[in-house]
Amino acid sequence: MHVIRTLHTHMIQKGLYLGVALVGLGLAILNPKITLPLDFHHYLFVIDITQSMNVEDMSLNGRPASRLKYAINLVDSTLKKLPCGTKVSIALFANAEIVPLYIPIEVCANFGIFQDTLSHIEWRMAWRGSSHLRLGLQDAAEVLLMLPEPAQIILLTDGDEAAPINAITKIDLLPTPGSDGWLLAGIGSLKPSPVPKFNSKNEVIGYWSQYATKIEPSQIVNEDSVGKRDDSIASDPHEYYLSVLQEEYLKEMAHDIGASYIRAASHKHLLSAIKKLPPSGHGDSPIPLGWIFALLSGLFVVADYLPFRARS
């Protein structure tokens, strides 16, 4: 009788375990969801592609690198460390505009797109040779309004402007909605270096002169210059325009709009600064539960199998 009762008990357990497993499997197929309030993080990585970013005063893998190449590598390394679910876009800065290449997309599922984008960025993509960061930050606020979801600006730049601002051209910056979540990342050395000048074939033909940068590099000086490139170069080292990381200027602009500033010494520094930024927004996010029911279903199948293994 004891054996019969034991077998009967095991049969009940077997039926119970399999029944629960089937219910769990059904729920896993339905994949129900619950909605939870979550913070979300969307970033617009803006890369300065103006010509001072061609100065080779940075280092990558022990070799000299331009500020632009360093900035591109920095973004690539940082994207690899961002958690899945983060949405990112790449944008370019030149003249006084910030131009996104696409709307923010999920970083893990689209990582190949980011790598392809970064591999094709170069200074010749600039639409004008001038650089007005203050106007660019104003334009950034308008760009963000056109995106389908809120995002935070992360601007990688050396802060060097051409033509340099003065009492007439300097504009006041005021905080805009969300600018307290922006980050200005300084790229470059504090040691002055000449800015290389390239021809249309991306070949160095010399260095920019101090005179050439006192006006917009693309500005038409006379009628004969219409439709032509300015390929003039500094003839002597004392004429070179020397460029440095304009750190104090970037700190000033960050303070004006309530943003943060960091000298981007490595992707770890940049990633740490990004993690300290407030979320770009809040919203309800559906959380799928199907995997939980599938796991429970599997556990009950195993639980049903183990007692019979023990008796054999």
Sign of CA dihedral 250, 255, 257, 261: positive
Q: Which helix (H) or strand (E) holds 25?
A: helix 2-30
Looking at the DSSP bridge assignments, the partners of residue 37 are 284
CA distance linking residue 107 with residue 40, whole number of Å: 13
Q: Is the pTM of this model over 0.85?
A: no
The residue that leads in pLDDT, 30 or 76, is 76
Average pLDDT over residues 85-114: 95
Supply the pLDDT for residue 14. 56
Coil vs helix vs strand at 282: strand
The residue that leads in pLDDT, 65 or 217, is 65
Domain boundaries, the chain: 2-32+289-311, 36-191+245-285
* Three-state DSSP string of 154-221: EEEECCCCECCCCCCCCCCCCCCCCHHHCEEEECCCCCCEECEEECCCCCEEEECECCHHHCCCCCCC
CA dihedral 76, 92, 114, 117 (to 10 degrees): -110
CA distance linking residue 189 with residue 93, whole number of Å: 20
**Per-residue confidence band for 311, with pLDDT thresholds at 50, 70 and 90:** very low
Average pLDDT over residues 45-57: 96
Asked whether the beta carbons of 122 and 49 are under 8 A apart, the reply is yes
Lowest average pLDDT, out of 15-19, 147-151, 238-242, goes to: 15-19
Lowest average pLDDT, out of 80-84, 139-143, 232-236, goes to: 232-236
pLDDT tens string 205-248: 889 888 776 655 544 444 444 444 555 677 677 788 899 999 99
Residue 249 has pLDDT above 80, yes or no: yes
Lowest average pLDDT, out of 184-193, 202-211, 302-311, goes to: 302-311
174, burial (CB in 10 Å: exposed 0-12, middle 13-18, buried 19+): exposed
The residue that leads in pLDDT, 214 or 107, is 107
Average pLDDT over residues 128-136: 89
Mean pLDDT of the chain: 83
Average pLDDT over residues 123-128: 92
**Per-residue confidence band for 36, with pLDDT thresholds at 50, 70 and 90:** low
- Tokens 């004429």 belong to 239
Residue 22 has pLDDT above 80, yes or no: no
CA distances to 21, 106, 247, 297 from 291, in Å: 13, 21, 49, 10
DSSP conformational letter for 266: S
Let me know how long the chain is: 312
CA distance linking residue 156 with residue 256, whole number of Å: 17
Lowest average pLDDT, out of 8-12, 107-111, 243-247, goes to: 8-12
CA-nearest of 80, 71, 69, 67 to 45 is: 71
Supply the pLDDT for residue 277. 93
Q: Which fold has domain 36-191+245-285?
A: Rossmann fold (3.40.50)
pLDDT tens string 280-307: 876 655 667 777 777 777 777 776 666 5
- Tokens 């033509």 belong to 163
Half-sphere exposure of 234 (CA within 13 A, CB side): 18
CA-nearest of 96, 94, 258, 97 to 173 is: 258
Supply the pLDDT for residue 284. 58
Lowest average pLDDT, out of 4-18, 37-51, 190-204, 270-284, goes to: 4-18
Percent of the chain with pLDDT over 70: 79
- Tokens 């183990």 belong to 306
Q: Which helix (H) or strand (E) holds 268?
A: helix 267-275
